[in-house]
Amino acid sequence: MEEAAAGIISAPAAPSPAEAPRGGGVLHVALIGNPNTGKSTLFNALTGMRQRVGNYSGVTVERVEGRYRDADGPVVLLDLPGTYSLSASSPDEEIALAVLTGHADGIGLPDVVIVVVDAANLERNLFLASQVLELGLPTVIALNQVDAAEAAGIRIDAVELTLELGAPVVPIVATRGQGLDVLRSAVRKAIALPRPARQFELPPEAAAALAPLEARLTAAGFSESASGLESLRLLAVQQPGRHVSHVAGLEAAVAKARARIEEAGLHPTSLEAESRYGWIAGVVDNAVHRSRDGARTITDRIDAVMLHRVAGPLIFLLVMAMVFQSIFTWAEPMIGWVEGLFGALGGAVAAALPPGDLNSLIVDGVIAGVGSVLVFLPQITILFLFLGILEDTGYMARAAFIMDRFMRSVGLHGRSFIPLLSGYACAVPGIMATRTIESRKDRLATIMVLPLMSCSARIPIYALLIGTFIPSVAVAGVFNLQGLTLLGMYLLGTVTALLVASIFKRTLLKGQTRPMIMELPPYRLPRPRSLALSVGHRASMFLRKAGTVILALSIVLWALATYPKTDAAPGMSDEQAQEAALAHSALGRMGHVVEPLVAPLGYDWKIGVGILSSFAAREVFVSTMGTIYGVGGDADEGSTTLREKLRAETHAGGAVVYTPLVAVGLMVFYVFAMMCMSTTAVVVRETGGGWAGARWAAFQFAWMLALAYGSALLVYQGGRLMGWG
Amino acid sequence: MRTLSELSAGDRGRVTRVGGDADAARRLMEMGLMRGTTVEVIRRAPLGDPLEVRVRGFMLTLRRTEAEHIEVE
């Protein structure tokens, strides 16, 4: 039961799986299907909602709801995580099963279920479909990608399949919106149809052995159809899911059923799969017509190169290098535009408003603070675009395939690789994507190290420091020192993540690594529209953060940096006067308090302030710098960029503050430091919630901060010993 | 009796037994790899492990340790 602590679903004390009446005439529909069947595409097509379309399991991580309206009224569509079965061996599968049996908190039993099945891959898809049908809920089968199946020589007789399954089958092409009207009306009509039921017969000895177990489950409140599925499931799973944990005497009943089945010469573990696939073989025989077989597909041909023994890893490295390189080379002109825009905006506001505190608040606080973070939107968007393309084409799964052997050497497996890779965008969805990992220890180890993957919030810091202090010189003709430094930061985080994971898996989370069994989906061309939607969605989340948290912090920081005020002493230059005013302010005093702590890292008190304020989120460091260096600036300085100001910054003695060594040390600090409230909140929830989760999160925060401080110290002091700084 | 891990790329075999770790075996059977299923080894990953196999018309990857518990003929 511990295995599947998803932290979202908890078993009610007394479950009532009986259909709860729904009010309002709203139809509640659940959407379920295997990964890579186009389920998310169908969800988008039906609801028009902006929902991520992914090519691997774990993308649909949160409870995602959308709405549409048909002739009879509104329909609420609940998108369930992609899953191969209802055996609840991973948190994702547990969610699906809990919703379909009415055990999910706050989500009633759906009125209708749509099962999305891939027409080109009918056999395996029918396994899940037959489990869902057995639950006895009104069900519609959406037979997706019938066009691709026909191109591959597979023709499916939908009428015959409807008769075989006892539920309506609607052929559709979700990507082109074909068949959606028929699907909508079939969903509406499904309620009035006879309920589907189990379609196959178990061997009589097995049925007899299972009868007492089913009776016990029915007595505990399961519907009769759900008990049938549940008893089959319990035979094969090692750890019963949490939603059956309250049933008294369950383990004994399961053990007894297993023993009786073995006595009859049958295998309890394979009973469900063999019975179901035996039935599926008959269905496929009757309803599927193949005109040719075993043709080499485009995917086969692409994989011959992409997964080639020599070319494969090279392509993988090249793809990664290109992504990081392009973050710099493509974004640079766009950054120039955004900087110019904010400079002009600051100048215009400064000229329009009378000099004074309001002028300073808007120009030096809001525009300088928020603008300094927004400047990096182009780079973040490019990263999101590349990750989106890798996901949508199906290359992510190939990357996991290539990397599995390597991942295993640190005690993880390919399945951990995908969440880790999505951590490059943001740790929050990455951590939620770990729900596809079946073993709790593997999952915890992955969550613990995931924030070491350099997320997009670090881009502003890397970009500011690299762009300002690392010279843009060519290396080996093709590469650029700036791009390579950025790649170095990503590698540092990634390699450390793997090392730390390996330490965790050998100590705190010791345990056998689970097997890796994964589908390699066919390659697909990413569709520009869905790609644009997903990049736009992620970019707007970044903008929202800049518009709320960072805006608020910028205003607070501006106030702290402005008050209390002091008069310039006679004979001071403008610059000296600004410096004195800032040092006298509340922020300046805080900075001086932490200065002894950060001085060994080579930082002055201003960087100390930046680190203090970035405990909320890393990119706040950059906006803090924007605010600090914006404070007291003359109107005509509105066009001076933060980069130029940082370069000019000196210690009291005249020595330059930001030597390349300091800049590198600072980046290393942010590679390791766990400074992101959103991630910490998600870690608390995903590691069990409550005190248990809080302890994991606190532990993670502490070791990461210690690692960050220690490494930055090592870089700076070590570098000075070597005479570099 | 040969195991899936002993087949080379391009070889086909009919599964006679799926053994080993119970969770892995159940997962494989849910994906359709069980007694009587025909599997074809497509390739090994560049580092030699895991394997890619074709089963019921789709591509599945599994590690050598799992493949060693799958007997084929």
Query: Which of chain A's residues have a Cβ under 8 Å away from the Cβ of B45?
Result: 307, 312, 401-402, 404-405
What whole-number distance in Å separates Cα of residue A495 and Cα of residue B60? 28
A226-230, A368-372, A693-697: which has the highest mean pLDDT?
A693-697
**Residues on chain A touching B60 (C-beta within 8 angstroms):** 517-520
A9 Cβ partners below 8 Å, 6+ apart?
A94, A95, A98, A103, A104, A105, A242, A243
Residue-level pLDDT at A638? 39
Taking 90 as the threshold, does the pLDDT of residue A134 lie above it?
Answer: yes
pLDDT at A562 over 60: yes
**A151 shares its domain with A259:** no
Looking at the structure, do residues A133 and A17 belong to the same domain, yes or no?
yes
> For residue A463, with 0-12 CB atoms within 10 Å meaning exposed, 13-18 middle and 19 or more buried, which class applies?
buried
Least trusted range by pLDDT, from A50-59, A107-116, A566-575: A50-59
The verdict on A7 and A122 lying in the same domain is yes
Residues A656, A651: Cα–Cα separation, whole Å: 6
Model pLDDT, residue A208:
93
Shared domain for A12 and A161, answered yes or no, is yes
Domain boundary, last residue among A192, A224, A247: A192
Mean pLDDT, rounded, for A100-122: 89
Q: Is the dihedral of CA A689, A693, A695, A701 positive or negative?
A: negative
Asked whether residue A10 is assigned to any structural domain, the reply reads: yes
Helix (H, G, I), strand (E, B) or coil at A461: helix
pLDDT digits (tens, 9 = 90+) for A160-194: 999 999 999 999 999 899 999 999 999 999 999 99
Q: Is the pLDDT of residue A653 over 90?
A: no
pLDDT at B22: 81
Examine the domain organization and report whether A229 and A254 are in the same domain: yes
The predicted model gives A13-23 an average pLDDT of 41
Cα of first residue to Cα of last residue in chain A, in angstroms, is 55
pLDDT at A75 over 80: yes
Structural domain boundaries, residue A12: 2-192
- pLDDT winner (highest mean) among A50-64, A505-519, A610-624, B47-61: B47-61
Contacts of A84 in chain B (CB under 8 A): 27, 30-31
**C-alpha span between B9 and B13 (Å, rounded):** 12
DSSP symbols for A365-411: IIIHHHHHHHTTHHHHHHHHHHHHHHHHHTHHHHHHHHHHHHHHTTT
| pLDDT (average), residues A486-510 | 90
Helix (H, G, I), strand (E, B) or coil at A87: coil
Give A398's contacts in chain B (Cβ within 8 Å): none
Residue A690 forms part of a structural domain: no
Tell me, yes or no, if A284 comes closer than 8 A to chain B by beta carbon. Answer: no
Q: Is A112 found in the same domain as A39?
A: yes
Question: Residue A21's pLDDT band (boundaries 50, 70, 90)?
Answer: very low
Sorting pLDDT into bands at 50, 70 and 90, what band is A689?
confident
Residue A599 has pLDDT above 90, yes or no: yes
- Supply the pLDDT for residue B23: 81
The domain boundary, picked from A271, A300, A319, lies at A271
- Does the pLDDT at position A19 exceed 80? no
Q: Are residues A34 and A115 located together in one domain of the fold?
A: yes
Once rounded to an integer, what is the mean pLDDT over residues A224-233? 87
- Evaluate whether A65 touches A71 at the Cβ level (below 8 Å): no
Regarding whether A54 and A109 lie in a shared domain, the answer is yes
Q: pLDDT per residue over A309-365, tens digit each?
A: 899 999 988 887 777 667 667 777 777 788 788 888 888 888 888 888 888 888 877
Token duo for residue A264 = 């009859």
In A410-463, where do the E strands start and end? none
DSSP A122-158: HHHHHHHHHHHHHTTS-EEEEEE-HHHHHHTTEEE-H
Q: Which of residues 30-49 of B touch A (CB under 8 A)?
A: 30-32, 34-35, 42-49
- Residue whose tokens read 């780079």: A379
Residue partners of A153: CB distance under 8 A and separation at least 6: A290, A291, A292, A293, A295
- What is the predicted pLDDT for the residue at B37? 94
Looking at the complex, does the CB of residue A524 fall below 8 Å from at least one CB of chain B? no
Percentage of the residues of chain A whose pLDDT score is greater than 90: 31
Say yes or no: A17 and A50 in one domain.
Answer: yes
Q: Which domain holds residue B22?
A: 2-72
Which amino acid is it at A167? A
pLDDT of residue A242: 62
Which range has highest mean pLDDT (A521-525, A531-535, A696-700)?
A: A696-700
Say if residue A28's pLDDT is above 90. yes
| Nearest by CB: A519 against B43, B60, B63 | B60
The sign of the torsion formed by the CA atoms of A360, A361, A363, A365 equals: positive
pLDDT for res A213: 92
pLDDT of residue A12: 37
- Average pLDDT, integer, range A358-386: 80
Annotated binding site of A for Mg(2+): 44-45, 47-48
The Cα of A220 is separated from the nearest Cα of chain B by a number of Å equal to: 26
pLDDT attached to residue A678: 76
Q: Which residues of A307-337 are buried (b: 16+ CB within 10 A; e: fewer)?
A: beeeebbebbeeebeebbbbbbeebeeebee
pLDDT, position A258: 92
CB contact under 8 A, B63 and A236: no
Q: What is the mean pLDDT of chain A?
A: 83
Average pLDDT (B42-62) is: 91
Domain boundary among A129, A158, A192: A192
Q: Which residues of B touch A302 (CB under 8 A)?
A: none
CATH assignment at residue B16? 2.30.30.90
Name the β-bridge partners of A170. A142
| Residue bearing the bigger pLDDT, A228 or A513 | A228
Q: pLDDT of A234-274, one tens digit each?
A: 888 766 666 666 777 888 889 999 999 999 988 888 899 99
Residues contributing to the annotated binding site of A for GTP: 33-40, 58-62, 79-82, 144-147, 173-175
SS3 (DSSP) at B20: coil
Rounded CA-CA distance A236/A226 in Å is: 16
Residue A57 has pLDDT above 80, yes or no: no
* pLDDT value of position A390: 84
B10 Cα to chain A: minimum distance (Å): 12
Mean pLDDT of the region A654-674 = 90
Cβ–Cβ of B46/A120 closer than 8 Å? no
Is A435 domain-assigned?
Answer: no
Number of domains in chain B: 1
Are residues A178 and A232 part of one domain? no
- Predicted structure pTM score: 0.79
Question: What is chain B's Cα-based Rg?
Answer: 11
Whether A445 is in a domain gets the answer no
- Distance (Å, rounded) from C-alpha A273 to C-alpha A600? 63
Higher pLDDT pick, A213 / A58: A213
User: ipTM score of the complex?
Assistant: 0.96
**Count of domains forming chain A:** 2
In CATH, what number is assigned to the domain containing residue A59?
3.40.50.300
Three-class SS state of A10: coil
- A214 and A182 housed in the same domain: no
In chain B, what is the greatest distance between 2 CA atoms, to the nearest angstrom? 30
Q: Choosing among A156, A270, A315, which should be mutated to test the B contact, i.e. which has the most B CBs within 10 A?
A: A270
